[in-house]
Every structure is written in C-alpha cells, then in structure tokens.
C-alpha cells in the first residue's frame, strides 16, 4: 500500500465511523486533515529522508539488508531513486 492508497482507505474509514460526540469527531478529523495535508498531499516537495521520518519508516529503511527491501519503502512513499 502506498500513501495515496492509505489516504483513500482512511478517508473511507472516517466516513463510516461514529465517535461519541461531535467534538471528538471534529477533533479527530482536524488532526487527520493536518497530517494528510502536510505529510501526504505535501509529499511532493519532501526528500526521501523526510518521507521516511513522517511515516515512521526510517528504522525499517536503515535495517533493510538489500535493495529489494529498500524498494518496498520507496514504493510505499511513492519515491523514485
């Protein structure tokens, strides 16, 4: 799954859940929107290291023992070499 697919999945999920009250719903959606706008929609201007950091994949990438494993991170983050 890449970041665009993640965004779509979360947006679909948000449309199908009910939180305890309107305040919780608005707060959750507000936090998701900030993350989405900055980390997913704003990815185009990020370096690979910034993308790895924002999605918590830095350690996974550093531990990758071969190019195939590193390529998985590139695919998830829609980054080219």
Residue 62 placed within a domain? yes
Q: Model-level pTM?
A: 0.63
pLDDT at 13: 86
Distance (Å, whole) CA 28 – CA 1: 23
DSSP H helices in the chain:
3-14, 22-35, 48-54, 58-63, 67-76
Q: What percent of the chain has pLDDT over 70?
A: 99
The reply to whether 30 falls in a domain is yes
**81 lies in some domain:** no
Q: Mean pLDDT over residues 12-30, rounded? A: 84
Q: Which domain holds residue 54?
A: 3-76
Number of domains in the chain: 1
Q: Indicate whether 63 pLDDT > 70.
A: yes
| Domain annotation covers residue 35 | yes
Condensed to tens digits (0 to 9), the pLDDT of residues 34-46 reads 989 988 888 888 8
Could you count the other beta carbons within 10 Å of the beta carbon of residue 28? 13
């Amino acid at each position: 799954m890449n970041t665009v697919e993640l965004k779509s999945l979360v947006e679909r999920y948000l449309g199908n859940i009910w939180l305890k009250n309107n305040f919780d719903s608005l707060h959750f959606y507000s936090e998701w929107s900030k993350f989405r706008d900055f980390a997913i929609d704003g990815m185009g201007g990020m370096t690979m290291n910034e993308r790895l950091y924002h999605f918590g994949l830095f350690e996974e990438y550093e531990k990758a023992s071969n190019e195939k494993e590193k390529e998985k991170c590139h695919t998830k983050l829609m980054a080219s070499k």
